[in-house]
């Protein structure tokens, strides 16, 4: 599975992404965006080597937990850090 295979379904999964974003906002994570949720789901799909099927992608979106999302954001922040801590 490559994330490019899933990219064609981003628009079709927009309602699920919007719903997940609203859920996170309701739980107090106001800074969560659709784009970040999409990136997180793509990383999760790549890690799990998920088969490129629309229903599997929607399932990944709807079952994404706040804990998984926050862990992904933390790891992303550490790996994208441009300068080392001194």
Q: Per the structure, how many domains does the chain have?
A: 1
| Residue 42 lies inside a defined structural domain of this protein | yes
- Each residue of 1-54: pLDDT tens digit? 556 777 788 999 999 999 999 999 999 999 999 999 999 999 998 888 878 788
Confidence of residue 70 (pLDDT cuts 50, 70, 90): very high
Range of the domain at 51: 3-80
Task: In whole angstroms, give the CA distance from residue 55 to residue 44.
Answer: 15
In angstroms, the first-to-last Cα distance of the chain is 39
DSSP code for 27: T
| Residue 85 lies inside a defined structural domain of this protein | no
| Residue 57 lies inside a defined structural domain of this protein | yes
Task: In whole angstroms, give the CA distance from residue 70 to residue 79.
Answer: 14
- Residues 37 and 23 sit within 8 Å (Cβ to Cβ): no
Task: In whole angstroms, give the CA distance from residue 57 to residue 66.
Answer: 17
| Residue 86 lies inside a defined structural domain of this protein | no
């Amino acid at each position: 599975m490559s994330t490019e295979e899933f990219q064609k379904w981003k628009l079709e999964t927009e309602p699920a992404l919007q719903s997940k974003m609203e859920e996170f906002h309701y739980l107090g994570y106001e800074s969560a965006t659709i784009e970040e949720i999409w990136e997180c789901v793509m990383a999760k799909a790549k890690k799990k080597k998920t088969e490129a099927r629309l229903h599997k992608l929607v399932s990944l979106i709807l079952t994404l937990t706040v804990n998984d999302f926050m862990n992904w954001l933390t790891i992303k922040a550490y790996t994208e850090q441009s300068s080392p801590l001194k």
